[in-house]
Amino acid sequence: MGVLNRRLIRMIMSSKGQNLAIAMVVALGLMLYVAMSSAITNLDDAVQKYFTITNAADIYVEIPAISGSEVNSLLSVSGVEAAQGRVVWDVNFLSDQKADENQKITLRVISIPEDAEDSKDGMIHSLYFQTKAQTLASDDEVFLIESFARARSIEVGDEIKIQYAGEDHALKVKGIVSSSEYIYLMQSEQSLLPDFSNFGILYVRESFAMRSIASNGQYNQVLLTVRDSFDGNHESVRKAVEKKLEHLGAQRVYLREDQVSSRMVQEEIRGNKQTMSIVPVIFLGIAAAIMFVMIGRFVRNDKVTIGVLKAMGYNNRKIMTHYSLYAVSIGITGAVLGVILGSLMSVYVTTLYATESFNVPILVFKFHAWMLFAALGLALVFSVTAGYMGARGVIQIDPAAAMRPEAPQSGKHIGLEHTRFWNFWVSFTEKMVIRNLMRHKLRILVLSIGIALTFMMIMIPIYLLSAFLDMFEFQYSVMQRMDYSVSLNGFMADRDLVRSLRDYDEIDYAEGRLEYPFEVENGYRKKATTVIGLSPDTKIIHFYELNTMVPMVFRPNSVFMTRGLADNLGLRVGDPFVMKPYLPDREDQVYKLTGIIRQDLGSNVYMPLGTLQRDFFGEDAVNGAYIQGGSDVKDVLTDARSVSSFMSNEDLQNAYLDFMQLTYISIGMIVVIGMFLGVAIVYNTVVLMINERTVEIASMRILGMRIGEVFSVISREIAVISGVGIVLGIPLASWALAGIGAYFTTDLYSFATKPQFIDYVYAGIITLVSIIISLALSYRKIIRANFVDALKNQVS
């Protein structure tokens, strides 16, 4: 082992605490990177494989009615490989549990072809069985989706009951299945979150669906797969299908990526990939900055040694490599720890995805070797850069000049020393603190920036928690003030619907609405969304301006749009846009956007009810209602035959609170990581301060100051610097949060919440706690410091 290598080992061993703290910063960054990247890669790979083995549809067609021959005619469209018609309808699930007495539980009945119940037989969206594949032998046998069955403890062989059009049907569960079509099980985009207990999927034989549910023996949905030769050009096939079905009044023709479940999965994958491209850079950047400062101090303190090494024949490259290897050793140690911890954590995250968030039965943990090399590569790039940048001072050291002792720095007075206040009101230790702060401005700046970054890292999860709660509160208490949102089986006259609902004593207020999917276009940009028609004097929906939260008046000529949708279409207030109806014999209409509103969850266009009725649906037509009333309203809605489904705000709130339990755990972990980051930054900086001031500290001890008093001087300096760091951290955190809000806003959700004063207070308190912990850890350094050697080495 060479001389420099032995010296390197001594350097590493003499600063074990600092090195471990920096290595843990590297490890935390790479742990998050490996864990989340591995889990997201596993999820993405499993989803794509799941789509392949179940022959997932590439295009979906929702249509009022279509015959089998018309379905087959779609095979003539260029690019279409296979077409499959099916019946899809929501029915009531009849529960015998007392807790479900006032609950409307919905099962979506989907027919499966009797001659092809597997992808090998050409079935599109074939079912996935945990055991051997099965078939339905009779009309009273069904398959039940696994999420709903697990939530309600339904097993194979159990009998369930459904109700459609006032008729009850007793059915036997033949098998528990999963489907690539419902990886994320939501009834609609307006559902916000999965509700496994109250919504599920029921697969029945086509003969049963045609006999009991379908209208005139016709399908109401078509699944299409596209030829491989048209890969990447599915949109042209979609347009051709849409044009061919125009005369039948296709309500909606959309690609797989616009299907609710697939869209939610892809948003999760996209969001996490974006996050993972930022997180490791932040952590490794902070670690590199600390290593840069440490190595720079080593070079300054080792000036004589470096001069001797140069005199002995070592060139600049070898000496710089020697110091750079110190940084590399820390980076590699952190990378190895990060990969190990990240791999263990990714098992948990992958399991969480497979069991709690998404239903992907083939999702399993796989270790990806490229992540190991990526993590090591990132660590090497940052550590080598920090090492060479910190060791640049070696080049400027001349061997002869290095042997001479440095001339002592000339002292300087600060302006306060000439004031009466300084002489009579400032204590001796306070004067020391102020002088040190004024004479080492660079040190103050570096530590302040480190504390500002810590404050920012702690503020982000606190803001996210506040934002999640505020998003739900705003959506379902401020903007939407109904107790129930009701969807009808078809269209009714608004006056008749409202009159019939208000006849019930349990209902305090009712208001009709029109809700229908449209394609909204602005030039080459287009998006399928739900358009909602409301009365101009609506008492249920309250609109607010996006940035100022000023109430907006919904006038008879108003056309409002949510932020995410407007951004996707490139629209601003005053711009015209086209609304294309999924209705036969209806012309496209052009409207002018009069307002962009705040809506944190989902994307919609809001129009006056009369305008929507006049242009598309006919006078007084509605297909839903908003209701205000108590829990007894559920009895009324459950028994109403015209009601297709309803959602209560109370149920949504309970589902959201269940979802937030996992969020609390995740955010708590991020806060702890942020605190550890703060401890690492402050601890390393304090240790550097102590090492650079051993002579000064020894002199204070000789003057009679106790260890506690010496530590008090350092603590006061850190307190002042902490205050400066937190003040700098406030605008830094605000800038970061604004970036997060803009970066992660989509047409599914929007971060419009502003950080509150109390969020900054919490972040400041947690930052101070991390600083106090780091000071407590560094206290041992003062106790163990060898002040005799420090004074011995001082040249008099």
Q: Widest CA span of the chain, in angstroms? A: 106
* Among 25, 142, 20, 55, CA closest to 91: 142
Q: Is residue 528 part of a domain?
A: yes
DSSP characters for 742-770? Answer: HHH--SSB---PPPPHHHHHHHHHHHHHH
In this predicted structure, the answer to whether residue 287 has a pLDDT above a threshold of 50 is yes
Do residues 499 and 557 make contact, with C-beta atoms less than 8 angstroms apart?
no
Task: Report the alpha-carbon distance of residue 509 to residue 629 in Å, rounded.
Answer: 7
> Which helix (DSSP H) or strand (DSSP E) does residue 790 occupy?
helix 787-792
> How far is Cα of residue 23 from the mean position of the Cα atoms in its chain?
27
Tell me how crowded residue 376 is: count the other CB atoms within 10 A of its CB. Answer: 17
- For residue 412 the two structure tokens come to 């300087």
Task: Report the alpha-carbon distance of residue 509 to residue 626 in Å, rounded.
Answer: 8
pLDDT of 500 reads: 85
Q: Is residue 9 part of a domain?
A: no
Quickly state the pLDDT bin for 794 (edges 50, 70, 90).
low
pLDDT of 788 reads: 62
> Which helix (DSSP H) or strand (DSSP E) does residue 506 occupy?
none
Task: Report the alpha-carbon distance of residue 360 to residue 369 in Å, rounded.
Answer: 23
Residues 282-289: what's their mean pLDDT? 84
Last residue of a domain, one of 235, 264, 293: 264
Q: Is residue 361 part of a domain?
A: no
Span 382-419, pLDDT tens digits: 998 888 888 887 777 777 666 666 666 666 666 666 66
What is the count of structural domains for the chain?
Answer: 3
pLDDT of 590 reads: 93
Task: Report the alpha-carbon distance of residue 482 to residue 630 in Å, rounded.
Answer: 11
Task: Report the alpha-carbon distance of residue 778 to residue 18 in Å, rounded.
Answer: 10
Give the 3-state secondary structure of residue 499: helix
Task: Report the alpha-carbon distance of residue 127 to residue 177 in Å, rounded.
Answer: 6
The answer on 711 and 654 residing in a single domain is yes
Task: Report the alpha-carbon distance of residue 336 to residue 327 in Å, rounded.
Answer: 14
Q: Is residue 400 part of a domain?
A: no
Question: What angle separates helix 757-784 from helix 707-744, to the nearest 10 degrees?
Answer: 140
The answer on 220 and 106 residing in a single domain is yes
The answer on 493 and 473 residing in a single domain is no
Bridge partners (DSSP) of residue 171 are 160
Q: Is residue 20 part of a domain?
A: no
Bridge partners (DSSP) of residue 596 are 561
Which domain covers residue 236, as residue numbers?
Answer: 56-264
Q: Is residue 663 part of a domain?
A: yes
The answer on 757 and 670 residing in a single domain is yes
Residue with the two structure tokens 């449209």: 518
pLDDT of 796 reads: 39
641 vs 321, higher pLDDT:
321
What distances in angstroms separate CA 722 from CA 103, 502, 545, 685, one per listed residue?
55, 62, 38, 12
pLDDT of 203 reads: 93
The answer on 229 and 92 residing in a single domain is yes
The answer on 555 and 663 residing in a single domain is no
The answer on 494 and 475 residing in a single domain is no
Dihedrals φ, ψ of 481, to 5°?
-115, 30
Dihedrals φ, ψ of 548, to 5°?
-100, -15
- For residue 400 the two structure tokens come to 């002869």
Question: What angle separates helix 441-473 from helix 707-744, to the nearest 10 degrees?
Answer: 50
Span 451-472, pLDDT tens digits: 888 888 888 888 888 887 788 8
The answer on 654 and 550 residing in a single domain is no
Residue type, 715: S
The answer on 430 and 512 residing in a single domain is no
Strands 484-493 and 88-94: unpaired
HSE of 176, CA atoms in CB hemisphere, 13 A: 18
Please calculate the CA angle 86-59-527 and round it to the nearest 5 degrees: 120
Residues 227-233: what's their mean pLDDT? 84
Please report, rounded to a whole number, the percentage of residues in the chain having pLDDT higher than 70. 89
With 0.85 as the threshold, say if the pTM is over it. no
HSE of 548, CA atoms in CB hemisphere, 13 A: 5
- For residue 456 the two structure tokens come to 């920012």
Pick from 174-178, 336-340, 418-422: least confident: 418-422
pLDDT of 795 reads: 46
> How far is Cα of residue 422 from the mean position of the Cα atoms in its chain?
53
The answer on 103 and 248 residing in a single domain is yes
pLDDT of 196 reads: 83
Average model confidence (pLDDT) across the chain: 82
Span 767-785, pLDDT tens digits: 888 888 888 887 777 776 6
In this predicted structure, the answer to whether residue 205 has a pLDDT above a threshold of 50 is yes
Last residue of a domain, one of 239, 264, 289: 264
pLDDT of 172 reads: 92
Strands 604-608 and 484-493: unpaired
- For residue 585 the two structure tokens come to 């014999």
The shares of helix, strand and coil residues in the chain, as percent rounded to the nearest 5, are 55, 20, 25
Task: Report the alpha-carbon distance of residue 723 to residue 726 in Å, rounded.
Answer: 5
Residues 485-505: what's their mean pLDDT? 85
Task: Report the alpha-carbon distance of residue 104 to residue 485 in Å, rounded.
Answer: 12
Tell me how crowded residue 194 is: count the other CB atoms within 10 A of its CB. Answer: 24
Strands 141-145 and 199-205: antiparallel
Do residues 248 and 168 make contact, with C-beta atoms less than 8 angstroms apart?
no
Task: Report the alpha-carbon distance of residue 116 to residue 123 in Å, rounded.
Answer: 5
> Which helix (DSSP H) or strand (DSSP E) does residue 406 occupy?
none
Q: Is residue 251 part of a domain?
A: yes
* Among 86, 127, 94, CA closest to 110: 86
505 vs 443, higher pLDDT:
505
Do residues 365 and 35 make contact, with C-beta atoms less than 8 angstroms apart?
no
pLDDT of 787 reads: 61
The answer on 679 and 555 residing in a single domain is no
431 vs 407, higher pLDDT:
431
779 vs 102, higher pLDDT:
779
In this predicted structure, the answer to whether residue 336 has a pLDDT above a threshold of 80 is yes
The answer on 453 and 555 residing in a single domain is no
Q: Is residue 674 part of a domain?
A: yes
Do residues 770 and 474 make contact, with C-beta atoms less than 8 angstroms apart?
no
- For residue 706 the two structure tokens come to 């106790």
Strands 199-205 and 105-112: parallel
